[in-house]
Every structure is written in structure tokens, then in C-alpha cells.
Amino acid sequence: MSEESHGSHAGRPSSWIAVTIIFIGFVVGGVGLCLGPMWIMFWVGAGVVVLGLLVSWAVHLFSDVVVDAPRVIPEIVDYSLFGSHSSKRRGGDAGEVLDVPVATDTQQAPHG
């Protein structure tokens, strides 16, 4: 597959096709359970979910990830009613020893 994600949270069309197949399988299986249960319909739904998982593996669904820009976490997180900084600091009463916000590197800490 030569498709690549271009920094959008929307994902690639092939990824959405795989997710749609999995969703249809869950719907068919769920309806089968509600209608009786109709075990044949449930197992058909389970088979469609497995088919969707195979499609997601084939189109590399989990490589369709967008890494956001580094986040800057402010040192002071509590504000007064009028918008001025209060004495409450992140890290408890003593606060943290850093005087400036810290930006995390997404390659080292991908979840910010």
C-alpha cells in the first residue's frame, strides 16, 4: 500500500473501510443476539468482525497514527476568579523546581 497519512486525524480511506467492516460485524452479531438469540446470525457477525480484523491487518490500520506537536504544560495551573495566577502550583504546596514550562519530545514520550 502506498497510501500514507498526511497529518490529518481523519485517517486513510482504507483504514475507514476496515473499521466499517468491523462495525458491521458487531451490528450483525448484536442484532442476532437481540432477536432470539439467533446464533447463526451472531456467528456470521463474529465472522465479519474477524474478516474486518484481517482487512485492518492488511491495510496496516495501526500505522495510521497522527503524532501531534509537542505539548507545553504550564507551571501554574490554578487561576483566581479574576484571571490572575494564584499561589497554587502543580506538584502540591511546594510546587515544582522548574521556572519554565516543559515541552515533551513526541519521539521520546509520544503521549505528551
User: Cβ of 52: how many Cβ atoms within 10 Å?
Assistant: 21
Give the Cα separation of 95 and 24 in Å (integer).
50
Give the other-Cβ count within 10 Å of 21's Cβ: 18
The answer on pLDDT for 27 being more than 70 is yes
The pTM score is: 0.55
Partners of residue 102 on adjacent β-strands: 73
Amino acid present at 34: C
Decide if pLDDT at 5 tops 50.
Answer: no
Per cent of the chain over pLDDT 70 is: 49
